[in-house]
Structure 1
Amino acid sequence: MAQQLDNDLQFEDRFHRKFYYLRLSVTDVCNFKCTYCLPDGYKPTEKKKPSFLTLNEIERVTRAFAECGTSKVRITGGEPSLRRDYTDIIRIVAAQPGITKVATTTNGYRMEKNVKEWREAGLTHINVSVDSLDPKMFYQITGENMFHKVMSGIDAAFDAGFEQVKINTVLLKNQNSQELPKFLAWIKTRPIQLRFIELMQTGEMDLLFQKHHVSGVSIRNHLIANGWLLKINGKNDGPAQVFCHPDYMGEIGLIMPYEKDFCQSCNRLRVSAKGKLHLCLFGDHGVELRDLLSADEQRTELISRIQGGLKEKAVSHFLDAGNTGMTPNLASIGG
């Protein structure tokens, strides 16, 4: 059961937005080469081996967030399952009092083998990146010939007891933007929430954004015209506009960050794999936390630093003004 908290112990910014949702990156390494993220593959930014958050540090930062109202943690990357201690990470996060949802976002390549183990460790929700239902287009976008392996992993997730699997599809003009009929047929008899995510401009992707960005508005108009109904989001849900239809087991979600007032209901914060708090995916700076993760006795100071950082959180990401902040690619701080 979630802890009862005093108002002054809840993470809240100066615009009175409360933060119930932590996206915790555990690595920036990824084994895919998606065109919109790491088209040339992962390249370390340091010569020495990267030092990602340890299990003890993950426990301390997660507990601090849980004590201040966070009830949902999403474990992200890069590709989080590349960590050998990934199952232990899930178990640690799930054990924190107040955390009721433990989710992950994965490219799915290890799901067929490991998803049952993850669920037993405490994973409650899972998102899988599938940018096309055409194996050739999947390869073109991801740089990896793993379509059938990922699809088998989705089947394994259902076999392991997940009642719903969320699928993330980055909308790319002239690549997968024409696949809506195929996707709709796929989810008609399966409890999949398919989430179309508008391509977002990052520091390294200006040309690709100009070539392939397409709005999700046309998909929303099609859904509404064909009897799909908008659902109401819960307090720790993400930013997707989710639609359901009485004739479909599955759902459609739309994430459209360029739409007016997208940030108005922001309820999530990010911590990078190296222990930096990011107030926004497209923020101009982060807040160092790692020096306060070495001992349990530092938790009060850690919470105070996070609260201080929230005073600097902007009202919007300003993506519509062409501001991409300090984010070079989505893998760098957990997408």
Structure 2
Amino acid sequence: MALATNMRRNACLVTNWLVASGKLNFLSVGFEHASYSIIRKTNGLRIFGDQLEASRTYATSCAKLSDEIQKENSDSNMLVDSFGRMHTYLRISLTERCNLRCQYCMPAEGVDLTSTPKLLTRNEIMRLANLFVSSGVNKIRLTGGEPTIRKDIEDICLELSNLKGLKTLAMTTNGIVLARKLPKLKECGLSAINISLDTLVPAKFEFMTRRKGHEKVMESINAAVDLGYNPVKVNCVIMRGFNDDEICNFVELTREKPINIRFIEFMPFDGNVWNVKKLVPYSEILQTVTKNFVNLTRLGDHPTETAKNFRIDGHQGTVSFITSMTEHFCAGCNRLRLLADGNFKVCLFGPSEVSLRDPLRQGADDNELREIIHAAVRRKKASHAGMFDIAKTANRPMIHIGG
């Protein structure tokens, strides 16, 4: 076991050095296949997987190390799993509540909500966030439910942005109330924004979300652009027969503004009434875009990136594809999730959860909480093949990963 762990660590360090130095300029793992056939180009030389046996399985399983943490003796403080993946990205759900009722996310009557006393307080969120950041997390994304409906959202942003070592504080929101709150949120340190919008047609928006508000979301997108967010990321779940005819209209939003349209493959699950026939695969969405827009150029993606990113000549913004279903990206996963009730998930698609709230409230000190977190990360699987298991956990609404 110790030998295997050292091999993984060494493979991770080699890969990180190659990426950081620019010597490794192509990484590709077909995680959906049984074999890991990797061809790398290093200074013009073709090196085949058999020559890098120790590291080929883990080549894209390692986040690029920053200059501050490239020393091997710091590994024990980092959130590294047994496959060498370094976890630097934490998603914090601030609330289970939402002011929309999207049909693919939850039933019209909503879902059973956790009682308020069982939800994390702001102080508890801050204590746990500080533990994660001190263990190498440098990016936090605030999610929900809908994070902007939490009354203390500005205070949370201000305190989180002041954590030493945190580089990015992001938020994913439906944009309904964002426009009026965003100036203050930016002052409080919110540095990146994702806005969910699945249609540019108001009537479709009302049908899908069971609420009005399309104009408010568009206002929020424009407000984010005006405030200097670059890019303003717009998450769009593509569903056959609903909005697949709007793909090019969404791409047009990138022509004059620094907007990153992120097309997300629809993920059917037991709790929504939308079946797998609604799935429009990445290859089909990409084909639609390439037929209608010339000079689509693939950008270089970070090994931990969940999106395939493209630029179109003459457009200020960019287009991305999140292939949650057809080409999942477990190999490079560096993400963790803290739910509003204090449960900790090391895999966004997996059913396993570990409570951090309970030991915190039972008097656990920071070292004890940190060990619980590290132990959970060490148990993380290489991949999660049962993509729909997430729908079977605690009657939670659908979780998309367009961050």
With normalisation by structure 2, the TM-score equals: 0.76
State whether structure 2 residue 350 is matched by structure 1 residue 283.
yes
Q: Which residue of 1 aligns with 2:299?
A: 231
Q: Which residue of 1 aligns with 2:381?
A: 314
Q: Which residue of 1 aligns with 2:372?
A: 305
Q: Which residue of 1 aligns with 2:78?
A: 10
The residue identity in structure 2 corresponding to 1:210 is V
Residue 200 of structure 2 is aligned with which of 133, 148, 151? 133
Residue 89 of structure 2 is aligned with which of 11, 16, 21? 21
Alignment of 1:160-199 (within 5 A): 160-199=227-266
State whether structure 2 residue 285 is matched by structure 1 residue 212.
no
Q: Which residue of 2 aligns with 1:37?
A: 105
The residue identity in structure 2 corresponding to 1:229 is T
- Mapped to 2, the partners of 1:317 and 1:123 lie a distance apart of 31
- Mapped to 2, the partners of 1:195 and 1:75 lie a distance apart of 18
- Mapped to 2, the partners of 1:90 and 1:96 lie a distance apart of 10
- Mapped to 1, the partners of 2:332 and 2:213 lie a distance apart of 36
Secondary structure in 1 aligned to 2:224? helix
Compare relative contact order (CA 8 Å, sep 6+) and give the higher one, 1 or 2: 1
The residue identity in structure 2 corresponding to 1:280 is C
* Structure 1 portions without partners, runs of 5+: none
Contact 2:262–2:321 (CA under 8 A) maintained in structure 1 = yes
Contact 1:270–1:278 (CA under 8 A) maintained in structure 2 = yes
- Mapped to 2, the partners of 1:240 and 1:328 lie a distance apart of 28
- Mapped to 1, the partners of 2:80 and 2:230 lie a distance apart of 32
Q: Which residue of 2 aligns with 1:86?
A: 153
Structure-2 change in CA distance of 1:79 and 1:50 (3 Å): farther
Structure-2 change in CA distance of 1:260 and 1:159 (3 Å): closer
Shift of 1:80: 0.6
* Structure 2 portions without partners, runs of 5+: 1-65
Q: Which residue of 1 aligns with 2:142?
A: 75
- Mapped to 1, the partners of 2:284 and 2:396 lie a distance apart of 25
Aligned Cα RMSD in Å? 2.4
State whether structure 2 residue 226 is matched by structure 1 residue 159.
yes
Contact 1:28–1:77 (CA under 8 A) maintained in structure 2 = yes
The residue identity in structure 2 corresponding to 1:189 is E
Shift of 1:318: 1.1
Residue 124 of structure 1 is aligned with which of 161, 175, 191? 191
Shift of 1:203: 3.4
Deviations 1:39-58 (A, max 9, x none): 31433345x44632111111
The residue identity in structure 1 corresponding to 2:146 is E
Secondary structure in 1 aligned to 2:244? coil
Contact 2:236–2:262 (CA under 8 A) maintained in structure 1 = yes
Contact 1:271–1:333 (CA under 8 A) maintained in structure 2 = no
Contact 2:247–2:288 (CA under 8 A) maintained in structure 1 = no
Contact 1:70–1:99 (CA under 8 A) maintained in structure 2 = yes
Deviations 1:166-206 (A, max 9, x none): 0011111100011112112222111000101111133312x
Secondary structure in 2 aligned to 1:96? coil
Q: Which residue of 1 aligns with 2:56?
A: none
Contact 2:175–2:195 (CA under 8 A) maintained in structure 1 = yes
- Mapped to 1, the partners of 2:333 and 2:190 lie a distance apart of 23
Alignment of 1:97-108 (within 5 A): 97-108=164-175
Secondary structure in 1 aligned to 2:256? coil
Residue 244 of structure 1 is aligned with which of 284, 296, 311? 311
The residue identity in structure 2 corresponding to 1:68 is S
Shift of 1:327: 3.8
- Mapped to 2, the partners of 1:270 and 1:134 lie a distance apart of 32
Select between 93-102 and 2-11 the one with higher mean Cα deviation. Answer: 2-11
Select between 311-320 and 60-69 the one with higher mean Cα deviation. Answer: 311-320
Contact 2:96–2:113 (CA under 8 A) maintained in structure 1 = no
Secondary structure in 2 aligned to 1:186? helix
Secondary structure in 2 aligned to 1:126? strand
Alignment of 1:58-69 (within 5 A): 58-69=125-136
Shift of 1:323: 4.3
Shift of 1:312: 2.1
Shift of 1:243: 0.8
Deviations 1:40-83 (A, max 9, x none): 1433345x446321111111111111111111000000001111
Structure-2 change in CA distance of 1:319 and 1:179 (3 Å): farther
Structure-2 change in CA distance of 1:307 and 1:326 (3 Å): farther
Structure-2 change in CA distance of 1:231 and 1:33 (3 Å): same
Structure-2 change in CA distance of 1:222 and 1:318 (3 Å): same
